[in-house]
Amino acid sequence: MINRRSALAGMAALFAAPLYAPIARAAGIEGKPTRPVISEGPPSVQVFNPRQRAAMVALSERIMPATDTPGAIEAGVPEYIEKLLADWSYPAERVPVLAGLDAMHELSMQAYKLPVDQASPEQQDALLTSAMTDTAGIGADFFEAFRQLVLTGYYTSEIGMTQEREYLPVPGEYDGAYLYSNINKVFTA
């Protein structure tokens, strides 16, 4: 099966915007990797405080919700985000994400009198939309970095590679008459 580092390198093609630096570094795209390969186990440093972690988990599930396939939480995206930010980012690179999560909390408290993780899915969607459009002053840097972290974490997870997409390590023979209507999933190799 494909390893996560190879999948990370392949994810670079999915983003039209510049790749968030820790993702590029982990994939080996941004110069020579200056950190060791992501190890198994817990993050090397604590990145989020409890409120930020709860907001990050809730918002990651709104970006990649469970449908007929598992969502971000089941795919382990929150753990991936924390591990990537702890072991592949410099402290200054974490600032947009951490400041954005704090700003999302403040906006949620002002608008709904609830922390982000206790807001309804519709309210969380509204918060994410305001971050995406930068109407609340949260910053587009936060939304773009966070979205990239969630999508990369999801599509490089086992769930993302095997349930959302169909993994074919060795594609079959070429069939020029294969009907497009027969395609149910996007294939990855």
Q: Is pLDDT at 80 greater than 80 in this prediction?
A: yes
- Model pLDDT for residues 143-178, shown as the tens digit of each residue: 989 999 999 899 888 888 777 776 666 666 777 787
pLDDT above 50: residue 107:
yes
Which pTM was predicted?
A: 0.72
Q: How far apart are CA 63 and CA 27, in angstroms?
A: 22
Distances (CA, A) of 109 to 43, 51, 55: 29, 12, 12
Mean pLDDT rounded to a whole number for the chain: 81
Q: What separation in angstroms does the CA of 48 have from each of 45, 56, 67, 170?
A: 9, 9, 27, 40
Q: What is the pLDDT of residue 185?
A: 66
> What span, in angstroms and rounded, lies between the C-alpha atoms of 160 and 133?
27
Share above pLDDT 70 across residues of the chain, in percent, rounded to a whole number: 72
Confidence at residue 181, expressed as pLDDT on a 0 to 100 scale: 79
- Determine the pLDDT at residue 1: 46
pLDDT of residue 172: 67
> Which residues have C-beta within 8 Å of that of residue 102, sequence separation ≥ 6?
52
Segment 48-74 shows an average pLDDT of 94
Q: Which pLDDT band, with edges at 50, 70 and 90, does 5 fall under?
A: very low
Q: Of 22 and 1, which is predicted with more confidence?
A: 22
Both tokens of 140, joined, read 């587009």
Per-residue pLDDT tens for 24-42?
A: 666 665 555 555 555 667 8
DSSP letter for 39, please: P
- Helix (H) / strand (E) element for 177: namely none
DSSP annotation string for 101-151 = HHHHHHHHHHHHSS-GGGS-HHHHHHHHHHHHHTSSSS-HHHHHHHHHHHH
pLDDT band with cut points at 50, 70 and 90 for residue 22 = low
